[in-house]
Chain A
Amino acid sequence: MEVLIYLVPMALLLGLSGLAAFMWSLKSGQYDDVQGAAVRVLSDDDVRK
């Protein structure tokens, strides 16, 4: 069972990185326009000239 000593913290670390990613996406405004994001993916000229 010694394997738990590093497996459990690793699992926690993975979870924390997921949480951090969510916090980052929230902060960078990715949830401000949820409906817009859903339809923008369909437009093919999103690269500004």
Chain B
Amino acid sequence: MTEALDLSIFVKRQDDGTSHLDLAIEGIDCAACIDEIEGGLCRLPGIVDARLNYTNHRLAVEWRDGTLSPAQVVDEVQRLGYRAHPFRSRLVEEEETRRAQWLLKCLAVAGFASMNIMLLAVSVWSGNVTDITPETRDFFHWLAALIALPAVAYAGQPFFQSAMNALRNRRTNMDVPIVIGVLLALTVSVAETINSAEHTYFDSVVMLLFFLLCGRYLDQAMRRKTRAVASNLASFRAEVAHRVEDNGEVVLVPTAALKAGDRVLVRPGERIAVDGLVISGSSELDESLVTGETAHRAVRADSHVYAGSMNFNGTLTLLVTAAGKGTLLDEVERLLENAAAAKSRYVRLADRVAKVYAPVVHTAAAVTALTWIANGSSVHDALITAIAVLIITCPCALALAVPVVQVVASGALFRAGVFLNTGDVFERLAKVDTIVFDKTGTLTLPTMSVINARDIEPALLEAASRLALSSHHPLAAAVAQIGQDRRPYDDVIEEPGRGVRAIVDGREMRLGSPTFCDAVFLAQKATSDAPNASVIAFSWADKQAALLVRQALRPDAVAVVADLRERGFDCRILSGDRPEAVAPIARALDIASWRGGCKPADKIEALDALKAEGRRVLMVGDGLNDAPALAAAHVSLSPISAADLTQAHADAVFLGDRLKPVQDTIEISRRAHRLMRQNLSIALVYNLIAVPLAFLGYVTPLVAALAMSGSSTIVTLNALRARGRTPAMPQAKPIPSRVVPAAQGA
């Protein structure tokens, strides 16, 4: 890119006369990169500070106002051998960071309190069986109360808030019994301290909070890590557009800087970055990322165009419209609203358990108290025993059972190149029995590739590929990927709408439309075998070749689909593309039930029909037209190349050129779900043993402490098994590799 990019919208001006820019850096792989980048940038005049965060690969640069332009910083990083993408941290992420810090503070307070109270509690326990004086014991109990009360008030906030929210919405979650247990135990302990009794439960309460906060924090940290990587990836893809200023000047700006009403110039071979209305120019668009349709659409003045479309042959001037002004987007958004509402009715496993658990526990405590009173004990003793039941059943293991597995399993998915958007994906994925794929960009690669490379003379192919490096046409990009030699020829002339030509070794070389290359007959012969492919012709002196270009299947699609089918999943295709284009793919993958030409509403209808049959559907799709279907399906996945809106509605996003992550995701989720259920049963068995003991009054604070830490440890250790054997992480940057045209599939 020779034009300077105007990055000023990413720059934060600070009060002390410096400017601040955040960049997401691509290509960091070792510790030496830190020095290289920071040292290199600090040599630029005017730089005040450059600090690379090695954990999330972000660089913060500060320089004195007016000494540098942000583009210079980006160029310098580029010169050092890394790619820098301006980055604007999203509000959600900042919110998550604040929450993580808060949880860590609560965790620290709970940890401090539980250590110090345990110090006092152990002294009391050992003193109770030896020779502690009541005065010393009271002193210790008062001290414990002094530590526990403020510590719980502070560290218990996450639970108090969550429980209050649940109760306000007339629901109950796991935090409700936790809060009730904690508050009752504290009250009783304070009362016992005043009465200078032998037992208090301060240690159990703070230890419980400590364990629970560990689970919460880990859960939060995992999600934050995923989100950080996801937003880095988003900024790697961040697009730029040529904005036409009022004076007619064309400036290159990031898409984020565009506003409705701006005019944007789109050249051939560029992806359209915004929704808009064509003011002038005419062209053909590839809208496969939007509608799944692979045939090109002709547009002229007054046509609506959507972000994500690829502009093929003409230059267009667009008027940027606010999102949601097109007919297609309106429909997609309306469908999305309905679908999202339907989905929120799903109740998580942990909440389902909590719904049953809370009343049972509270009834058990009440029954205990009544039974003891009926058997002639004092109200005080009856209450103490009832409280012991509540404390021992306080769902420590139960509350850890699900989140810890989620943390470990999402770590495994992370390494497999899958990022989760929602936490309860595992439970929903584990129940899936039908998988519906979109075709374009999901089963096939989002980029084009040459499918008849094997039939063409290697020397000719190599030459065509080198010539293609000089063309901006999207089809030429596919040809350019084949060659080994990445040096473009000198003096290449591009003829808009026709192709490129150059004189090499005294002979003319052309790449472009069949007429341009005088290869009409050859092209007709080639397309007769593959009617859905686009043809690009090449001629070198008197030799000609016709290259067929189209979206190839993902390299492992056949194997993955066959494997999924073998395991009993019903695989289907619902595509927005024409049926003629879908049929060969379905044949190559041996999928019997497929449909082409589906509108977004048709896809939802098809999914509803499957739902009515009692099936649980996993939808895998990437197009804007898939977004409602993704939201409507039981659970959904989308590749990282998907449209932004689509990614936002998928439950998980996977990286790379392969379809294998789909298989891995299902496998890991099934394992995770099995472990969640195991953990829940461990917790229940623990309760079955502990509750009768508490009921009979055998539970002293010592027993409670042992039982609680024991069950939590077992549950956590069991959850670690969710890691399993995980496949290696695919390369973070999907290299547009030369795809072997899979069995002539696509």
Which A residues are closer than 8 A to B by beta carbons?
1, 4, 8, 11-12, 15-16, 18-19, 22-23, 26, 31-36, 39-40, 42-43, 45, 48
Task: List the B side residues contacting A32 at CB < 8 Å.
Answer: 53, 55
Asked if B52 is at the interface (CB within 8 A of a chain A CB), the reply is yes
**Which listed residue, A15, A22, A33, touches B55 by the CB 8 Å rule?**
A33
Chain B interface residue count: which class? 20 to 34
- Within the complex, what minimum Cβ distance (angstroms) separates B187 from chain A? 23
**Which listed residue, B35, B53, B101, B143, touches A43 by the CB 8 Å rule?**
B35
Asked if B571 is at the interface (CB within 8 A of a chain A CB), the reply is no
B96-129: CB near A (< 8 Å → 1, else 0) gives 0000010011001100100110011000000000
Question: Are the C-beta atoms of B112 and A19 separated by less than 8 Å?
Answer: yes
Task: List the B side residues contacting A1 at CB < 8 Å.
Answer: 133, 136
**Which listed residue, A11, A26, A34, touches B116 by the CB 8 Å rule?**
A11
Task: List the B side residues contacting A8 at CB < 8 Å.
Answer: 120, 139, 143
Asked if B34 is at the interface (CB within 8 A of a chain A CB), the reply is yes
Task: List the B side residues contacting A19 at CB < 8 Å.
Answer: 108-109, 112
- Within the complex, what minimum Cβ distance (angstroms) separates A6 from chain B? 12
Asked if B31 is at the interface (CB within 8 A of a chain A CB), the reply is yes
List 20 contacting pairs A-B, 8 Å CB cutoff, sorted by A. A1-B136, A4-B136, A8-B120, A8-B139, A11-B116, A11-B119, A12-B116, A19-B109, A23-B105, A26-B101, A26-B104, A26-B105, A33-B55, A33-B56, A34-B55, A36-B34, A36-B52, A39-B54, A43-B34, A45-B39
Which B residues are closer than 8 A to A by beta carbons?
31, 34-35, 39, 42, 52-56, 101, 104-105, 108-109, 112, 115-116, 119-120, 133, 136, 139, 143, 147
- Within the complex, what minimum Cβ distance (angstroms) separates A9 from chain B? 8
Task: List the B side residues contacting A16 at CB < 8 Å.
Answer: 112
- Within the complex, what minimum Cβ distance (angstroms) separates A18 from chain B? 7
Question: Are the C-beta atoms of A39 and B34 separated by less than 8 Å?
Answer: yes
With A8-B143, A35-B54 known to touch, is A40 a contact of B108 (CB < 8 Å)? no
Question: Are the C-beta atoms of A15 and B53 separated by less than 8 Å?
Answer: no
Question: Are the C-beta atoms of A39 and B31 separated by less than 8 Å?
Answer: yes
Task: List the A side residues contacting B136 at CB < 8 Å.
Answer: 1, 4
Task: List the B side residues contacting A11 at CB < 8 Å.
Answer: 116, 119
Look across to chain A and name the residue whose beta carbon is closest to the beta carbon of B147.
A12
Look across to chain B and name the residue whose beta carbon is closest to the beta carbon of A46.
B35
Look across to chain A and name the residue whose beta carbon is closest to the beta carbon of B146.
A12
With A1-B133, A15-B115 known to touch, is A45 a contact of B105 (CB < 8 Å)? no
A8 to B120, CA, bound (A): 9
Look across to chain B and name the residue whose beta carbon is closest to the beta carbon of A16.
B112
Task: List the A side residues contacting B31 at CB < 8 Å.
Answer: 39-40, 42-43
Question: Are the C-beta atoms of B112 and A15 separated by less than 8 Å?
Answer: yes
A23 to B101, CA, bound (A): 10
Question: Are the C-beta atoms of A40 and B55 separated by less than 8 Å?
Answer: no
The 9 A-B residue pairs whose C-beta atoms are closest, nearest first, are A36-B54, A39-B31, A33-B53, A19-B112, A35-B55, A33-B55, A35-B54, A22-B108, A15-B116
Look across to chain A and name the residue whose beta carbon is closest to the beta carbon of B111.
A19
Question: Are the C-beta atoms of B55 and A36 separated by less than 8 Å?
Answer: yes
- Within the complex, what minimum Cβ distance (angstroms) separates B581 from chain A? 46
A48 to B143, CA, bound (A): 49
Question: Are the C-beta atoms of A36 and B42 separated by less than 8 Å?
Answer: no
A42 to B101, CA, bound (A): 27
Q: Main secondary structure on chain B at its contact with chain A?
A: helix
A47 to B34, CA, bound (A): 14
Task: List the B side residues contacting A4 at CB < 8 Å.
Answer: 136, 139
- Within the complex, what minimum Cβ distance (angstroms) separates B664 from chain A? 25
Besides A8-B143, A19-B112, 19 other A-B contacts (C-beta < 8 A)? A4-B139, A8-B139, A11-B119, A12-B147, A16-B112, A19-B108, A23-B105, A26-B108, A33-B54, A33-B55, A33-B56, A36-B34, A36-B55, A40-B54, A42-B31, A43-B31, A43-B35, A45-B35, A45-B39
- Within the complex, what minimum Cβ distance (angstroms) separates B117 from chain A? 10
**Which listed residue, B34, B109, B116, B147, touches A40 by the CB 8 Å rule?**
B34
A18 to B113, CA, bound (A): 12
- Within the complex, what minimum Cβ distance (angstroms) separates B427 from chain A? 31
Look across to chain B and name the residue whose beta carbon is closest to the beta carbon of A9.
B143
Task: List the A side residues contacting B35 at CB < 8 Å.
Answer: 43, 45
A23 to B111, CA, bound (A): 13
A5 to B116, CA, bound (A): 16
A4 to B147, CA, bound (A): 17
Task: List the B side residues contacting A35 at CB < 8 Å.
Answer: 54-55
Task: List the B side residues contacting A42 at CB < 8 Å.
Answer: 31
Task: List the A side residues contacting B109 at CB < 8 Å.
Answer: 19
- Within the complex, what minimum Cβ distance (angstroms) separates B193 from chain A? 16
- Within the complex, what minimum Cβ distance (angstroms) separates B390 from chain A? 29
A33 to B31, CA, bound (A): 13
Task: List the B side residues contacting A45 at CB < 8 Å.
Answer: 35, 39
Question: Are the C-beta atoms of B108 and A23 separated by less than 8 Å?
Answer: yes
A45 to B36, CA, bound (A): 11
Look across to chain B and name the residue whose beta carbon is closest to the beta carbon of A48.
B42
- Within the complex, what minimum Cβ distance (angstroms) separates A32 from chain B? 7
Task: List the A side residues contacting B52 at CB < 8 Å.
Answer: 36
A40 to B37, CA, bound (A): 13
Task: List the A side residues contacting B39 at CB < 8 Å.
Answer: 45
A43 to B34, CA, bound (A): 9
- Within the complex, what minimum Cβ distance (angstroms) separates A37 from chain B? 8
Look across to chain B and name the residue whose beta carbon is closest to the beta carbon of A19.
B112
A31 to B100, CA, bound (A): 11
A42 to B42, CA, bound (A): 20
Task: List the B side residues contacting A48 at CB < 8 Å.
Answer: 42
A16 to B147, CA, bound (A): 10
A45 to B31, CA, bound (A): 13
Most buried by B among A11, A12, A23: A12
Most buried by B among A16, A19, A32, A40: A19
With A39-B31, A43-B35 known to touch, is A31 a contact of B104 (CB < 8 Å)? yes
Look across to chain A and name the residue whose beta carbon is closest to the beta carbon of B143.
A8
- Within the complex, what minimum Cβ distance (angstroms) separates B142 from chain A? 11
A4 to B138, CA, bound (A): 13
Task: List the A side residues contacting B108 at CB < 8 Å.
Answer: 19, 22-23, 26
- Within the complex, what minimum Cβ distance (angstroms) separates B225 from chain A? 11
A6 to B696, CA, bound (A): 40
Task: List the B side residues contacting A31 at CB < 8 Å.
Answer: 104
Question: Are the C-beta atoms of A36 and B115 separated by less than 8 Å?
Answer: no
A27 to B30, CA, bound (A): 27
- Within the complex, what minimum Cβ distance (angstroms) separates A49 from chain B? 9
Task: List the B side residues contacting A18 at CB < 8 Å.
Answer: 112
A48 to B49, CA, bound (A): 10
